[in-house]
Amino acid sequence: MQTKSAWAQQLADMVHEDDDPGTIWNQRARSAKPVAPAHAPRTIRSAPPRDAIISSDIGNNGAIGNACPTYDQGRKYLAPGLFGPCNYDLPAVIGAKIACPDVPVVGLAGDGDFGVA
């Protein structure tokens, strides 16, 4: 439980990404947009119901999604792993919904996975 709490605190502290030395990419992005990209995980974490089955795909959006949800029960997260097949998310959520029709199912897919689907 202490590890879970420490991880939740670390995620809560991730408000802005730091720029690499000699670059100002993130600084420019923050001044141009009112919402930092690091705020997306908080939204993802708060959106699904607590009992939802969640699946993600490979890629940046999937990797961000992997760190966001917390689970009260096991077997609620479906993922292809770090180097899995593209377009894993859509068949996984369809299968989960067929297997558990009364449980909410959420898929986290980036633009690449969505385009392939």
Residue 34's pLDDT is: 63
Question: What is the CA 48 to chain-centroid distance, rounded?
Answer: 11
- CA gap 8, 33 in Å, rounded: 25
- Residue ranges of domains in the chain, CATH in brackets: 2-116 (3.40.50.970)
Write out the chain in H/E/C secondary structure: CHHHHHHHHHHHHCCCCCCCCCCCHHHHHHHHCCCCHHHHHHHHHHCCCCCCEEEECCCHHHHHHHHCCCCCCCCCEECCCCCCCCCCHHHHHHHHHHHCCCCCEEEECCHHHHHHC
Residuewise pLDDT in 10s, the chain (117 residues) = 788 888 888 877 776 667 677 787 777 777 775 666 667 667 777 788 888 998 887 766 666 666 677 778 877 888 776 666 777 888 889 999 999 999 999 887 766 666 666
